[in-house]
């Protein structure tokens, strides 16, 4: 059963430590992996408080779908795995929760999406 909390998000304070330097090669690698997958869907779109455009997407994975955020400013952010048994309603609720929480933010609230998140969920790693 999938959890309804966002991956890497904490409860409580909205302040974050400075963002670690992102690895452009790692992000390109993850983007290539996602672009090669069939069935990636845009679930939601929104603009954050700093004016950045976001697409909340889901990619097929073994047993369900992996939800993530894609934007130029924040990069790829892991939102979490939604089990197939939870259904589309659960996936949409998680996407809606993320949009509601982050549309007023100037900085990311979830950890960076990593290649292992997708390959582990899909059973490819």
> Is it the case that residue 117 has pLDDT exceeding 90?
no
> Is it the case that residue 86 has pLDDT exceeding 60?
yes
Q: How many domains does the chain have?
A: 1
- Give domain status of residue 14, yes or no: no
pTM, 2 dp: 0.79
- Give domain status of residue 11, yes or no: no
Q: What is the pLDDT of residues 18-61, one digit of tens each?
A: 445 567 888 999 999 999 989 999 999 999 999 999 999 999 88
**Amino acid 7: pLDDT:** 59
- Give domain status of residue 87, yes or no: yes
Range of the domain at 36: 24-122
DSSP letter for 85, please: G
d(CA 106, CA 16): 11
- Give domain status of residue 75, yes or no: yes
d(CA 48, CA 52): 5
> Is it the case that residue 96 has pLDDT exceeding 60?
yes
- Give domain status of residue 3, yes or no: no
- Give domain status of residue 114, yes or no: yes
- Give domain status of residue 36, yes or no: yes
For residues 87-91, average pLDDT:
90
d(CA 22, CA 31): 14
- Give domain status of residue 117, yes or no: yes
> Is it the case that residue 94 has pLDDT exceeding 80?
yes
Please state, rounded to an integer, the average pLDDT across all residues of the chain: 82
Question: Are the C-beta atoms of residues 29 and 35 closer than 8 Å to each other?
Answer: no
């Amino acid at each position: 059963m999938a959890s309804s909390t966002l991956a890497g998000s904490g409860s409580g304070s909205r302040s974050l430590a400075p963002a670690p330097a992102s690895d452009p090669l790692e992000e390109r690698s993850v983007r290539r992996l996602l672009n090669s997958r069939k069935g990636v869907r845009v679930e939601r779109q929104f603009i954050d408080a700093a004016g950045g455009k976001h697409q909340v997407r889901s990619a097929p994975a073994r047993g369900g779908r992996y939800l993530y955020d894609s934007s130029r400013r924040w990069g790829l952010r892991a939102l979490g795995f939604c089990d197939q048994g939870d259904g589309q309603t659960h996936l949409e609720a998680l996407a809606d929760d993320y949009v509601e929480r982050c549309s007023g933010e100037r900085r990311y609230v979830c950890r960076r999406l990593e290649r292992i998140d997708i390959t582990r969920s899909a059973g490819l790693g």
